[in-house]
């Protein structure tokens, strides 16, 4: 028997029972649509997290003043930071380190003309731009010379630029940070949200020396709340961490058995954790959707079994006039496959449409990938074969005489 | 009457048992006979006499418990179920009492069905099916479904289907059982003509003497055995 005849026979059987075929397909439609939609949302979340990780900068350590013991944070708020600018410089000299920026963070009110804006201010060095992989939208970053002489210059984030200046070009303008006048020399390129949901563009960077003298009125000069460090590669991160620990312990004269007065954290590892969490969430969503696909497959098997019972006499007639067992097997298998693949097609359209709607209406990032489409089609095909085979084999195994006598 | 050398159908000591709750029911208890190509045979007997079982065995729908069956010199009991299906498709046509047409298919598609299983392409089989329908006088009705046809017309569609693959034997099981006497005469007349003009071997199962009278040989079954096997010429004498 030729393949086109099989398709013709299957198509005829399905179109003579339109309502039943439609209802049977519905399970597959919903299953495939759910898989596509869930994977799209999961993929979207992964894309978002990956973007946040990239904007954070790669191969990052953050070294914080104070220790975190097994009992929890032990550092009191009033304590002076244990890290110094010299620590940051010494770390930069280590073999696996690219850049090392001491940071002194704080909040401050900015004023330009009649507008004011509260934001976070980071006193730091030019290495910070390297570490955070932060490029300029306009103007330039401050230099090491600016840091040495405590220059009153500031680099502002995209949000600050928009809030204070609107359409005006901020570069060259004077703003007041806690009353002290600073010249804006650059605007940072936009990065968007960080992993913890903060707007990274709502910030002002100034030389760390100027921040301590003019803004935070810090009495403890040359001390940094934390140091951000970039290693040469992900492979060298473990070695770099050990080297940093050894260096700081010897510089801070911490004896054997004594607790550290600093904490080194691998930010890249933390980010990887966040990424794998999203991946697991995405897998979970997909798995739940896949269950509905399997339920749809069982629906197909159910209807095919009913159909085989109903059409026993037809099967007997076909066998009497020369249908071989495998012709009957194929007839019902192709019917099940046609149902599942048409259901899959409709489900794909619904799923992609639904993903688009979710993206538009809920503002969630969604990404329908070729892989998820291929997965849905492949699984539908397998389900059609798997759940179609049992009823088909039942039909093919009928005895022609019994089948002819039925009804 | 000269007998052809090789019989088309030859059965020896054919037996068929059916398991029942109370043990084994012997539907056939040793039947030996042969049918030559071109014969027109009526098989008669009361219900339960074994005639339908015999017919199913001859039609390759079932296999004997014991004994041998040679169809055109081929030992049928050795064939696989797929080979039997191919044999039914190629060599045998069936006409049933209840017509057994597929109700959702048109007359044309019903007649084309055996050709589909013979592996013929769509256009070719539709052409041949149309030709067969014209032969039974239903060329105009090819796109009607069975429910839109009368009983006699349905049986003619079934005959066209039986003839579609140009088989050598046609088995007809009570073909006029559901038809009125006028239509029965037409159908039987058509069978006689097929047998006379084309030499198709016809095996007819019936319990009606006037229908059996169309055949040239009569075989009577009782309790799973042949109790009478006569040529109609002798009957008439």
Q: What is the mean pLDDT of each run of 10 residues along chain A (407 residues)?
A: 83 89 91 90 84 82 74 52 90 92 91 90 93 91 92 93 90 91 93 80 92 79 88 89 92 85 86 85 86 88 90 93 92 91 94 91 84 88 90 92 84
Q: Which of B102, B117, B122 sits opposite A327 (nearest CB)?
A: B117
**Residues of chain B with C-beta less than 8 angstroms from the C-beta of A1:** 116-117, 119
* Predicted pLDDT of residue A328: 93
Q: Which two tokens stand for residue A154?
A: 């500031």
Q: Region B137-145: what's the mean pLDDT?
A: 93
CA distance B114 to A318: 8
Across the interface, whether the CB atoms of B85 and A325 are under 8 A apart is answered yes
Classify residue A139 as exposed, middle or buried by CB count within 10 Å of its CB (0-12, 13-18, 19+).
middle
Domains annotated for chain B, with CATH where assigned, are 9-236 (3.40.50.300)
pLDDT interval class at B116 (50, 70, 90): very high
pLDDT value of position B236: 46
Complex prediction ipTM? 0.92
C-alpha separations of A290 from A212, A301, A326, A338 in Å: 57, 17, 31, 20
Distance CA A83, CA B171 (A): 103
Partner residues linked to A193 by β-bridges: A199
Q: What pLDDT does residue A142 have?
A: 94
User: Is B175 part of the contact surface with chain A (CB cutoff 8 Å)?
Assistant: no
**At residue B107, does pLDDT exceed 90?**
yes
Task: Please compute the mean of the pLDDT values over residues B122-145 and round it to a whole number.
Answer: 93
State how far residue B217 is from chain A, nearest Cα, in angstroms: 26
Contact B36, B231 (CB under 8 A): no
From the list B167, B7, B201, B157, the residue with the least C-alpha distance to B86 is B167
Tell me if residue B13 falls in helix, strand or coil.
strand
> Cβ separation of B121 and A317 shorter than 8 Å?
no
Out of B56, B116, B161, the one facing A1 most closely (by C-beta) is B116
Q: What is the pLDDT of residues B144-199, one digit of tens each?
A: 999 999 999 999 999 999 999 999 999 999 999 889 999 999 999 999 999 999 99
pLDDT at B3 over 60: no
A291, A257, A122: which is closest to A202 by C-alpha?
A122
CA gap A320, B67 in Å, rounded: 23
pLDDT, tens only, A269-326: 888 888 888 889 888 888 888 888 888 888 888 988 999 999 999 999 999 999 999 9
Which chain A residues are closer than 8 Å to B100 by Cβ?
313, 316-317, 320, 404
- The alpha carbon of residue B1 is apart from the nearest alpha carbon of chain A, in Å, by 33
Residue A274, pLDDT score: 83
Out of B61, B81, B104, the one facing A320 most closely (by C-beta) is B61
């Amino acid at each position: 028997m030729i393949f086109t005849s099989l398709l013709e026979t299957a198509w005829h059987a399905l179109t003579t029972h339109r309502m039943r075929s439609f209802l049977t397909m519905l399970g597959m439609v919903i299953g495939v649509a759910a898989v596509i939609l869930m994977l799209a949302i999961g993929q979207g979340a992964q894309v978002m997290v990956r973007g946040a990780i990239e904007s954070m900068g790669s191969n990052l350590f953050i070294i914080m003043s104070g220790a975190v013991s097994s009992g929890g944070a032990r550092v009191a708020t009033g304590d002076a930071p244990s890290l110094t600018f010299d620590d940051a410089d010494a770390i930069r000299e280590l073999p696996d380190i690219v850049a090392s920026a001491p940071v002194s963070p704080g909040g401050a009110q900015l004023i330009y003309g009649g507008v004011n804006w509260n934001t976070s201010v980071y006193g730091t060095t030019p290495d910070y731009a390297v570490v955070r992989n932060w490029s300029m939208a306009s103007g330039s970053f401050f230099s090491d010379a600016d840091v040495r002489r405590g220059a009153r210059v500031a680099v502002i984030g995209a949000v600050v630029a928009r809030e204070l200046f609107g359409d005006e070009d901020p570069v060259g303008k004077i703003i007041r940070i806690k009353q002290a006048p600073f010249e804006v020399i650059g605007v940072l390129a936009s990065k968007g949200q960080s992993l913890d949901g903060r707007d990274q563009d709502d910030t002002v960077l100034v030389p760390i020396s100027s921040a301590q003298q003019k803004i935070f009125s810090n009495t403890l000069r040359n001390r940094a709340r934390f140091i951000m460090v970039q290693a040469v590669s992900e492979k060298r991160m473990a070695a770099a961490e050990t080297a940093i620990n050894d260096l700081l312990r010897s510089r801070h004269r911490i004896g054997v058995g004594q607790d550290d007065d600093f904490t080194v954290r691998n930010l890249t590892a933390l980010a990887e954790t966040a990424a794998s969490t999203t991946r697991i969430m995405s897998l979970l969503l997909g798995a739940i959707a896949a269950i509905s696909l399997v339920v749809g497959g069982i629906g197909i098997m159910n209807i095919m079994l009913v159909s085989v019972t109903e059409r026993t006499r037809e099967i007997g007639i076909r066998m009497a006039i020369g249908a071989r067992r495998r012709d009957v097997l194929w007839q019902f298998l192709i019917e099940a496959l046609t149902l599942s693949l048409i259901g899959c097609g409709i489900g794909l359209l619904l799923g992609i449409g639904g993903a688009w709607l979710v993206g538009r209406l809920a503002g969630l990032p969604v990404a329908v990938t070729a892989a998820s489409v291929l997965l849905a089609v492949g699984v539908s095909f397998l389900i059609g074969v798997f759940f179609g085979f049992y009823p088909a084999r039942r039909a093919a195994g009928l005895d022609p005489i019994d089948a002819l006598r039925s009804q | 009457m000269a007998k052809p050398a090789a019989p088309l159908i030859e059965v020896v000591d054919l037996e068929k048992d059916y398991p029942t709750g109370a043990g084994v029911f012997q539907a056939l208890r040793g039947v030996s006979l042969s049918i030559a190509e071109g014969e027109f045979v009526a098989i008669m007997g009361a219900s339960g006499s074994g005639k339908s079982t015999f017919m199913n065995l001859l039609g390759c729908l079932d296999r004997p418990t014991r004994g041998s069956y040679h169809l055109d010199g081929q030992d049928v009991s050795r064939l696989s179920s797929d080979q039997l299906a191919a044999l039914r498709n190629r060599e045998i046509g069936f006409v049933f009492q209840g017509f057994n047409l597929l109700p959702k298919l048109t007359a044309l598609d019903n007649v084309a069905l055996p050709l589909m299983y013979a592996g013929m392409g769509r256009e070719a089989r539709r052409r041949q099916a149309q030709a067969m329908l014209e032969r039974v006088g239903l060329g105009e009705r090819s796109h009607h479904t069975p429910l839109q046809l009368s009983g006699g017309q349905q049986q003619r569609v079934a005959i066209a289907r039986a003839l579609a693959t140009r088989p050598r034997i046609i088995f007809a099981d009570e073909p006029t059982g559901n038809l009125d006497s006028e239509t029965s005469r037409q159908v039987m007349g058509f069978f006689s003509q097929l047998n006379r003009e084309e030499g198709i071997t016809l095996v007819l199962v019936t319990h009606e003497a006037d229908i059996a009278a169309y055949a040239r040989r009569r075989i009577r079954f009782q309790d799973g055995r042949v109790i009478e096997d006569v040529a109609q010429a002798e009957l008439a004498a």
